[in-house]
Amino acid sequence: MAKTNYYQPDPKTDLVLERIVDVPTELVWKAWTTPEHILKWFTPAPWKTIDCEIDLKPGGIFRTTMLSPEGQEFPNSGCFLDIVENERLVFTDIFEPGFKPTVSGGFFTAILTLEKHGNGTKYHVLARHKDEETRKKHEEMGFHDGWNAALDQLVELMKAVR
């Protein structure tokens, strides 16, 4: 029986971001899994992340609150689905902590994979959506620009932390 590759993107429903960054994998992981770091890089400027809670285990909470330049707060909550230290972090807003389905139905699942690349990291995000409409909405919201800008901020922060 052939194995299914659950990480193969579907261009109809998925968005992908892949880059090589000049930061070791362990520091990229630390940036993603430490609330104090998330507050400094997670939201593309001029937006800010003003609150973060992480319980780094499958079913554990991953919650952030973003603040718009106009002062409006945008809370986001979900849970982790899969965690392989320094390699893979899978989270979703489709479930609340403990894998309880959200009332809103959620928006997407993100699969972040990290791979050593020389002294840096091959950074790959697969953003999975339930349908083409949701993927298109996320893309139009600025997925590529926003996630790239946030990654630039992560790199700058972690280079300063070294």
For the stretch 63-77, pLDDT in tens is 999 999 999 999 999
Q: Quick check: bond before 97 cis, omega within 30? A: no
Residues in CB range of 76: below 8 A, 6 or more apart? 63, 64, 65, 66, 93
For the stretch 5-54, pLDDT in tens is 667 899 999 999 999 999 999 999 999 999 999 999 999 999 999 999 99
Domains in the chain and their CATH numbers? 14-161 (3.30.530.20)
Work out the percent of the chain whose per-residue pLDDT is above 90.
Answer: 91
- pLDDT band at residue 1, thresholds of 50, 70 and 90? low
Range list of β-strands (E), 4-145: 14-21, 48-54, 61-67, 73-84, 88-92, 95-96, 100-101, 108-117, 120-129
Token match 């002062």: residue? 71
- Bridge-based pairing state of the strands 88-92 and 73-84: antiparallel
- pLDDT band at residue 162, thresholds of 50, 70 and 90? confident
Distance, in Å, from the CA atom of 130 to the CA atom of 65, rounded to the nearest integer, reads 23
Residues in CB range of 50: below 8 A, 6 or more apart? 39, 65, 66, 67, 73
- pLDDT band at residue 156, thresholds of 50, 70 and 90? very high
For the stretch 132-149, pLDDT in tens is 999 999 999 999 999 999
Q: Nearest Cα to 110, choosing from 66, 64, 159, 49?
A: 64
